Every structure is written in C-alpha cells, then in structure tokens.
Structure 1
Amino acid sequence: MSPLLTTTAIAADDSMNFDQPEAFATLKKAVGYFDEMETLPEDTWISRDQNSARADMDDMIKEAMEALDVPQLTQLRSTYRKVEDKISETRQQISELKEKRILAPDTDVSTLTRFTPTETLREFTASTRGDYDLLIEAHKKNIVAYQGELKTLEGTLAARLKDIGIQLTPAQVQVWLSSVVGDDVLDMSVVFASIKSVAQQLAELTRDSGENLEYARRYYGMVVMLHRMIVTMQEDFITRVNDEVLPKLKGFAAEAEATTRDARSLIKQGGQRESLENNIRANALTLKTITLYRTLVSEQRDRVKQSLSQSQRELAVATNTYRTVKLSAHVADLIRHGVKTFDTLAELQVPVAISFQNSAMREEFRKLTERMQQAK
C-alpha cells in the first residue's frame, strides 16, 4: 500500500501574507521601550534601568520577527520536514525487516500474508523470507513516493518564494532544506521581504500623516526597530555558523581522516583489503561532502557578514536620525531611503547557490545534517 500523499495540496486560501497587525503592534511596543531607555539610569541593582528596557525591546523585536514570517512558507517547510522524517522511519523499518528476514524460513510468501490487506498487518503475519521480501519492496516503493513528494514541495516552495521576490530554484531550495542552517537562511530571506513591505507601508502612513510629528516619529522609530531586527538576525546567524556548525564539521572531518588512516594501516598489516578499501572510499565521500558543506555555510556567512557591516552603519545612522527628527515630510523621505537600503541589504546576502554532484553526495550531506542536529 502506497503512503497517503497529502503534501502536494497546500490549501489554496492559505495566506502568503505575514501577520501585519501583530508586526505593527510589536514594533510599536519596541519603539516604546527604546524611547524609555533615554529616561532610565544605565544600570541599577533594584529599579528598572536601561538594560531592563533593552531586554524588553529585544523581546518585542523577536516577536515581530515571528509575525513577519509567512505562514504558508512555514507550513510548507514543516511538511517537508515531516516527509523527510517518514523517509528516515521507512529506512529504519527496512533495516529491521532485513534483520528479521535472515532468521525466517527460506520460502515464498505465505498465504496469510498474501491476503492481508495492509502493510501494518502484514508485518504481524510475516513469517517467511518471501513475506519479508514483499514488505521490504513495499517500503522501498513508499520511499520513492515520499521522495517524489519532496520534489513537489521543493518546486512549490520555489514558486511561493518567487511570489515575494526571492529567486531560488527548486535545486537551491533542496540544498538549503538539507542544510542545518537552511531554516535560518530562508527565515532571513522571508523576513527581509516582509521588512521591505512594512517599510513601504510606513512611508505611506508617514506621508498621509501630514504635519503630525508624533505619528511621523513613531513610524520612523519602527523603521529603526526593523534595522535592529536585521542586525540581530545577521549577528545570530554568524555566531551560529562560527561557534556551532563549522566546529562540528571540523570534528567530523578529523574523525573521517583518522578512520581512513586506521584503515590504511590495517591493510598494511594484512587486514581484509576489500572491506577496508570500501571504508576508505566511504570516508573519502564524507570528506568531500564536508568540504562542500563547509564551503556552503562559510560563503553564506561571509555574505551575511558583508551585509551586517552595512546594516550596523544604517542602524547607527537611523538611531541618530530618530533622535533629531523634526519634520514629518523629512521623515517620509528618510523612510523611503530605508526601503532602498533594505533592498540593498537583502541583495548582499542572497543565498549561495551550489549543487550536489550525485545522489550519494546529497545523501551524505543529509546524514551530516542529522549528525549535527543530534549533537546539540
């Protein structure tokens, strides 16, 4: 029985919009805490101080990040992960069935199993090698079907990302969804697109506010919070790559190199050559994939670093300007400039494009990602 394929049909009425009311509300609160910081002492033991207000502001910025994500894209990525999990579970089931098959009588499919309607029930009735062969073949077909689902989801995600101005091919989507930092990269890309939309709306609101300086300052304050959000996301990404991802990859490489040295030493000592040479080839693929993985995350980190340098400058300028805003007309011009700046920053950190040389490398890449996730 084939797996139930429900992942191709994401509801047509699912919104491709972020939660605009929530985003505006949290940004407004963040501005309130930002303004409060000017009225508070820098550091105190008991009463509220600048550190307390800054922590509250940062909490609001994180909530705004979540509000700026696009629900349908989140759902598609979640579905992708579930299908990947089903593939891993099915592979595990195949391994268990092969183990049971070794101990089973070497006969054809039993009558009971032949007429049992579902795979689940057949696993209870299986007793011969023929029974287990039938089950293993059915599970392999399920994996093929799940892999087809992943392809469909990659195409759908690429199309939905294009809808909000993010140009990624299905192959690029596949690479990032297979990477341990893929969600971070896609999150940044999607939130950047939402930030540009918010900034454009703030520019319109400022223009429509006429000479109401209070509203104009508030809107520009929200732009400042958007700048701060970008810096936060970029700094967090760079820290994660440097402190978590690259050290783990270095450890995996050292392990593979040590295993290869041991295998070569054992061959010289008369060990089973065929088995050991297979191990050496497997480690060579692992090392090649680690190099690809390291290149991917390092190049993306460097792009984000380049963008971060400009983001930090723009945040400093925007913060200084916010404190000296005088005329709402001037504010509207500043916010329009901010929209162009966000475009530039997004372009600076467009996701790196790489491709797998073959399915074996893609599978090894996936295994490395699993190892990094389990090593947390």
Structure 2
Amino acid sequence: MTKTGMRPSAVACVLAGLSCAVPALALAAGPAYQDVAPQIDTIVQNRPKDFSRENDERKDYVFGKLGSSNRDRIAALANTLGATDLLEMRERIEKAKQAIADKEAALRVLEAELAQAPPDATGITGWVSNHLSRTYSDVKAELDRAQQDLMRLQDAANAERQAVVDRLNGIGVVVSVEQLDILLRSITGDDILRMAGFFENVLAIHRGLAEALTAQGEKVDLASKYYATRVVLIDVAVEMHDRFLQRSGGEHVRTLDRIMQEAQAVKAEAKAFIAKEKDQALRDQAENNVRRCDLTAKVASVYKTILQDQARQVSDRRERLSRERELAINTYKVAAVSGELAKLIKQNDQDFSTLMQITLPDMRPFENAEMRDEFERLTKRLASKS
C-alpha cells in the first residue's frame, strides 16, 4: 500500500518489474470534516458575529506572547485542504516519462550495436567466437526485450494519465489526455492540481457537515455553525485563488516577459554578426541562433497567453467567491429567522458544489515536437526562478 492508502500504480508496478492489477480510478484520501473542524472552529471563534474580516490580520496573545492571526489560520487550513494525491499521480507520470526516455535511449544504442554485430558463427571456432563477443542474435534478443519493456512502460504511463483525467473529470474539471499533457508540462501544473484537490476536499467536508447537521433535525442554532463554516471555506478558497494569481498572473508572466526581451536582444546581436561576417559556416551558426531565439520568443508568447487565460478565469472565480461570501452571511441571517435550515442547507449545498469547481482555458496542442521541447525548457527555467 502507498502512503495515501491506495494500491500501487501501474507505473510503479512496471518500474519495479511487478505485474499487478490497478483500478482505473483511485479514490481521494483527503481530510474529513472531523479532521479540520478544530481549525475551522478556532477561526470562527476569533471572528466578530458579523463575519467581518477586520480582525483577521490581528495577532492573538497566548500566555502573553504574540500568537497567530486568523489570516495565518486560514493559510494553514489552505495548506491542509490543498494536500492531494493528484500531485503524487503527477510525480509518477513524470517518473514514467523519464523511464521511457531512458529506455528509448537504450534502444537507440542497441539498434546501433545490432547494425555492427557479427553474425552467429558455426563450428568449434564459431562456438568460441560466440562466447567471446556479442553476436547478432544476442543483441537482437536484448533489443526485443527492451522493446517489450518500452511498450509496458508506455501502457502504464497512459493508464496513469487516464486515471488523472478521470479523476479531474469526476470533480468537474473537464480535460482531455492531450490537454493534461500540456498541463503537466506547465509551470502551473502543480498549482492547478493542488487547487483541484482542494475543491475536491472542500466539497467532501461541506457535504459531510451538511449531512451531519441536517440529521440533527430542524434546529435554528445549527445554522450558525453551518454558515460560519461555509464562510471559512470560502475564505480558504479565496486564499488558494490569491496564491495562484500571485504566481501565475504575476511572477511567471513577468519572468516570461524578461525571457522574450532577452531573446530579442540576443537575436539582434546574432543578426548584427551576420551582417558583418563573410565566413558562411559562421553565418550559418548565427542564423541557427536567430531561429532558436525566434522559437523561444514564440513559445514564451504562447506560454504567457496560457498563463494569462488561467489567471483571468481564476480572477473571475475569485470575484464570484467574494459575492458568494456576502450571500452566505445573508443566508445565515435568513436561516436564523425562518428556521428552514434543512431546506436551505440542501439548496445551498447544490450551489456550493457548482461554485467549488474550476475550468481550464483552451490548452492548445503544440505545433511540433520542437515547440513542445521548448515549452518544457521554459517550464524548468520558470521553476528555477520561483
């Protein structure tokens, strides 16, 4: 069993040389309401009854020492609810990709060796020769085994990708395998998977709370706990959105702008060199540098558009969350005077499920392998800057 309580993945089985059946869709192992109730209750207790945020930045004093603010508690709760095995699934896919690349490199070596391998010899002299060096049949047998290993690795990686797609689609994040590949190559891949896992965990906690409270009957005082918790969960969702916007819509976009500026500056230097150079071989090298700069600038521009599309959608959802927070407070007041708690909880639970979803922008496929490789190179560069 893995640390998340799931059976070994298909990728893990193949990498370990095992043969095991793996379910197509793994269940989430996120926290239950009971696990986070103490954190939520502490946040609620340190809020004024009108749910205003004026106290959130203030530090508490514990035994005469400066303690945590509600802002700190909300950030800590965001970390708890953002924990998801989707990140482990992504890591397994990355390991599979590396294993496939290593196996493909080994195959190229074997293919080159096969082309130079001596034929199998016969007789006593041949028997000695066959045992002193690798013959055609020796290399061919190893090549066949390596090709079979490669196919198993590719099948396992595809199964892992499909499992992530099914998992995301199951929580309302519509994505294809092709879109997932681009997402996993993106600098925001972890952030989006973490946010998807967060929404999955929050929905489970919210539904668990709703079921627990409605089972206790029509009690008006339960509305306070339900809607206070609902407001806290929305506040945590806003925190997750703010983190994403700071990185995707801010830091990463600024880095891509610098990369595009650098590419244009280096391109100008290369073109200046071409204008004055007579040696054709050197001119050809400089022309290649110009093409590389153009590719970098083109992919960086596409990358920037993807990040800006993501940031725009997340920003829109953040604004919706702020309005939903106001409505949750107002609905709490309605429940307090009407006593129709069960009916309100059922309706608002459906609304909350719709709210706690994310959508992905159009993840355009790469025009060619060169653009895909440059996209991954830029991702590594962005990661090194963060």
TM-score by length of 2: 0.73
Aligned equivalents of 1:157 and 1:216: distance in 2?
37
The offset of 1:62, in angstroms, is 2.4
Structure 2 residue corresponding to 1:58, chosen from 58, 75, 99: 75
The offset of 1:231, in angstroms, is 0.8
* Partner residue, 2:29: 18
Which is higher, the Rg of structure 1 or of structure 2? 2
Deviations 1:25-73 (A, max 9, x none): 243112221232148995567747785354235323421332xx3x3x3
Matched, 1:314 2:324: yes
* Partner residue, 1:153: 160
Deviations 1:152-209 (A, max 9, x none): 4333322332333332110111110010101211222343244334333333333221
Q: SS of the residue aligned with 1:355?
A: coil
Matched, 1:227 2:244: no
The offset of 1:248, in angstroms, is 1.6
Unaligned 5+ residue runs, structure 2?
Answer: 1-11, 49-54, 119-128
Aligned equivalents of 1:283 and 1:185: distance in 2?
29
Q: Relative to structure 1, is the Cα distance of residues 216 and 18 closer, same or farther in structure 2, using a 3 angstrom cutoff? A: farther
Q: SS of the residue aligned with 2:305?
A: helix
CA contact (8 A) 1:30 1:58 kept: no
The offset of 1:364, in angstroms, is 1.1
CA contact (8 A) 1:87 1:146 kept: yes
Aligned pair count reads 348
* Partner residue, 2:210: 203
* Partner residue, 2:288: 278
Q: Relative to structure 1, is the Cα distance of residues 270 and 329 closer, same or farther in structure 2, using a 3 angstrom cutoff? A: farther
* Partner residue, 2:3: none
CA contact (8 A) 1:161 1:168 kept: yes
Aligned equivalents of 1:371 and 1:140: distance in 2?
33
Q: Relative to structure 1, is the Cα distance of residues 324 and 31 closer, same or farther in structure 2, using a 3 angstrom cutoff? A: farther
Structure 1 residue corresponding to 2:95, chosen from 82, 107, 111: 82
The offset of 1:278, in angstroms, is 1.6
Aligned equivalents of 1:255 and 1:278: distance in 2?
16
Q: SS of the residue aligned with 1:270?
A: coil
Aligned equivalents of 2:15 and 2:59: distance in 1?
55
CA contact (8 A) 2:81 2:202 kept: no
Structure 2 residue corresponding to 1:33, chosen from 18, 37, 42: 42
Query: What's the % identity of the aligned pairs?
Result: 23
Q: SS of the residue aligned with 1:249?
A: helix
The offset of 1:9, in angstroms, is 6.4
The amino acid across from 2:278 in the alignment is G
The offset of 1:245, in angstroms, is 1.0
Aligned equivalents of 2:65 and 2:221: distance in 1?
25
* Partner residue, 2:124: none
Deviates more, 1:306-315 or 1:171-180: 306-315
* Partner residue, 2:256: 249
Aligned equivalents of 1:218 and 1:273: distance in 2?
73
The offset of 1:114, in angstroms, is 2.6
Q: CA RMSD in A?
A: 4.3
